[in-house]
Each structure stands twice: as structure tokens, then as C-alpha cells.
Amino acid sequence: MNTVLVTLPNWLFLGVLIGVGMSLVAACAFVVGGRLFPDPPQQGPRADGESRRRGEIREYLGLIDEPFAENHFVEGHTVDFYLPKRDVAITFDARAFLAIDDLADGHSHAVLVEHELPGMGLGRRLPFETPEVSVTPDEEDGLMDPSAFAHLGLPTTADRDEIREAYREQVKTAHPDHGGDPETFRELQEAYASASEQAEPA
């Protein structure tokens, strides 16, 4: 039986070796660069907004005298707040909300909270009667988000119609389709959602 040897050209071996070597050099450069110049921690408006909302929710639950635990484990998920007396889970995570809501056996209840929802808005979402909370103007400033109104160029006494009108006016220049910056437009949307949630109906 004859054996046929196939010889490959030298340039092919050389090309493969050079390709592997260059790939290794590039990978090492990325690893070294990542260690020497790490990415800064993400602290955008979303992260800051969540921590502010957490503080507002803590304050609101304190005002209605409702005991709570933070970062509590419920139905296989960690939720942001848990009300043990009521068996109510409060979360910013939609997946956790849906999973807990699906697994609820009639006792547990999940409440989804958007990052834009002010702390005082939580009372309308809870599955039990909450006491009316009267706050002084100083306390109201802590529970409301006056920066949302300021972003729209409005006082905190503005009603929803005024908020809508101010938003529409600013959208004309802030929307990316009209030459605006996407980040500025996103901030405007968040301010509109927050102010609308806090405002009294017209």
C-alpha cells in the first residue's frame, strides 16, 4: 500500500504562525490595558435615580409606620423592599416582579416600582389601605423631586396640563430627530414622568 504525502507550502505555515502570534499580542494588549486603565464605575442618572428612590421609599414607609426589610429574598429572588406584616415584595426588577407574581399562592403580593416613581407615589400601588400622609413643606421637598419640575422650568405647584405643555415645548429642540442630544432627551423624559407622577390632576 502506497502512502501519499501531501506537502503544504511554507508560506501557509508562516501565515498561520504570524496570525496566531498577532492574535496573542492583541489579546495581551487588551488584558494589560484593562488592568492599567480600568473602566470607571457606572454612576449614571439611572444609578443615582435608584438610590434616590430607595431613600424616598424608606422615608415613605417610615411615615406610614410600616416595618420593612431591604434586599430580602422572596420566592427565589432578592427584592428591594419586603413588608413582612403584609407579605408584600417591592422591587425595581420587572423579572423578579413577574416571577413572584406568577408564584404567588394568594398570600404574597409583588409591587413593581419604576425608577421615576417618587416615594409618595408608592401608596397608590400597595395592595392595602395606607394612611393619608400629611407632610410639612420641608418634608415634602424631601419626598418630592423638585428637580424634575425645575428641569421643565416649572414650580412644584404645576398641574399635569402645565407639565405636559412644558414637556412638548422642550421636546421640539431636545428630541434627537430635531437635532437634540439623546442623553438630554432621556433626562427630559425622566423629568416629565417624575413630575407627572407627583402633580395633582388639572
- Domain range annotation of the chain: 43-144, 145-202
pLDDT attached to residue 43: 39
Instruction: Collect all residues with Cβ–Cβ distance below 8 Å to 171 and sequence separation of at least 6.
Output: 178, 185, 188
pTM of the model: 0.47
**Residue 178 near residue 172 (C-beta atoms within 8 A):** yes
Query: Regarding the domain delimited by 145-202, which CATH topology (the fold level of the hierarchy) does it fall under?
Result: Helix Hairpins (1.10.287)
How many angstroms separate the Cα of 77 from the Cα of each of 13, 57, 72, 73, 106?
A: 53, 20, 8, 5, 18
pLDDT at 202 over 60: no
Q: What is the pLDDT of residues 86-144, one digit of tens each?
A: 899 999 888 888 888 776 555 678 888 887 777 778 888 888 888 887 654 444 444 55
Confidence category of residue 37, pLDDT binned at 50, 70, 90: low
Compute the distance between CA of residue 170 and CA of residue 151 in angstroms, rounded to an integer. 10
pLDDT at 46 over 50: no
Q: Which residue has the higher pLDDT, 187 or 46?
A: 187
pLDDT attached to residue 104: 55
Interval 154-161 mean pLDDT: 84
pLDDT attached to residue 108: 74
Compute the distance between CA of residue 38 and CA of residue 29 in angstroms, rounded to an integer. 13
Q: What percent of the chain has pLDDT over 70?
A: 78
Mean pLDDT of the chain: 78
Cα torsion 150, 153, 157, 158: sign: negative
Architecture of domain 43-144: 3-Layer(aba) Sandwich (3.40)
Interval 43-59 mean pLDDT: 68
Confidence category of residue 42, pLDDT binned at 50, 70, 90: very low
